[in-house]
Amino acid sequence: NGSQPSIAWLKAKSQVNQGYPVLSWQKLSNNLPSGFEGNCLGVTYVGGTQTTQYKIRYVEDLIYISNMVRNDTNYYNKYFQFQNDISFTDSSIYYNPIGDSNNNCFSGNIDGNGKIISNLTISKNDSVGLFGCISGATIQSLGIANSCSFTSNVNGGSLVCHASNSTINKCYSKASLAGNSTNSKIGGLAGYLNGTSINNCYSRNSITNSSSGSYSGGMVCSIDNNSTILNSYSSPVSFPTDGTRGILVGSIANCTNPSLNSYYDSTFNVSSMTILGTSLTLTQMRTLDFAMALNACQTNVWKWANGNNSLNNGLPMLNWEGIGEVLPFCGSSE
């Protein structure tokens, strides 16, 4: 298969093609992973404009994009739209995060279209996340499910590890993340922001990062260069007790107003933590008043659980998730 931009060759089924490798499109392998139902994006799709986006349907499409970015195609000013939820049930082994360094970053525009990434597992001695590095990019309306798991000895975030001069909007993460070294840096939704804005997002991750020299953030590990978090909240399922940490953000540098109308769950609020955002109890975060404050008079952004704790643990959810109750447009709940 060499350095093909997507999976071209697979091991043949028993007694097929005399045992020699077969092309993936022949469907003659017992090893065809989930998410490889279609042909790769580079062969079947044209467009990439704001009105005619590249369509992302399969794991294979994401692998193609990842390999193209690692081979110096940054997709600057190109547009992509998810068409399906994508499950990596037995396909994680084929996947590398999209973008791998400051020299190989994704610079396109992703419309998640209200779709969800599930069953993605990445464990490596490198940066981890669905996206490894984005620069000048936008990502919106995409969810990372609780069946996803990310482990790194270096840096990690479930949606993106490193984001520069980018915008992340209407996304969530419910993944499991772990740092396995003395100075690993782990963030629930994103690892590191540089001149980047997170808007209308939430983070409900399980995070472990036990070293006293580690850095952990419930939503973002580190923010720099006037990055902002707007109309968002973090309510971890579990969170580290050691190292430099913060329930919303783990560490802050060179930011004037980094948090605007953003909140964190005080359940894990202990001494010596980085304080960014407004601290609320879980009970307060389950109220209509909180959902209204988070929504901040926006139209069709947030919904609330109305006392049903089986919906997102009773916490506000994004309108595109299709669950929960519609909020009054503006004003107080009273």
pLDDT along the chain (334 residues), means of 10: 59 64 61 58 66 91 90 93 94 91 90 98 94 98 97 94 98 96 91 97 93 88 93 95 89 82 88 82 97 94 96 98 90 48
Per-residue tokens: 280: 């609320």
What pLDDT, on a 0 to 100 scale, did the predictor assign at position 183? 84
Give me the CATH topology for the region 39-278. Pectate Lyase C-like (2.160.20)
User: Which residues have CB under 8 Å from 95's CB, separation 6+?
Assistant: 59, 62, 63, 66, 88, 120, 122
What pLDDT, on a 0 to 100 scale, did the predictor assign at position 257? 77
List the domain boundaries for the chain.
Answer: 1-32, 39-278, 281-334
What pLDDT, on a 0 to 100 scale, did the predictor assign at position 32? 58
Q: Positive or negative CA dihedral for 62, 67, 70, 75?
A: negative
- Calpha distance 36→14 (Å, rounded): 20
What pLDDT, on a 0 to 100 scale, did the predictor assign at position 156? 95
Q: Please answer whether residues 175 and 150 qualify as being in contact, where contact means their C-beta atoms are separated by less than 8 angstroms.
A: yes
Closest CA to 291 of 267, 327, 259, 324: 327
- Calpha distance 315→287 (Å, rounded): 8
pTM over the 0.85 mark: yes
E strands, 29-137, are 54-56, 79-82, 86-87, 109-118, 121-124, 131-135
- Calpha distance 308→125 (Å, rounded): 40
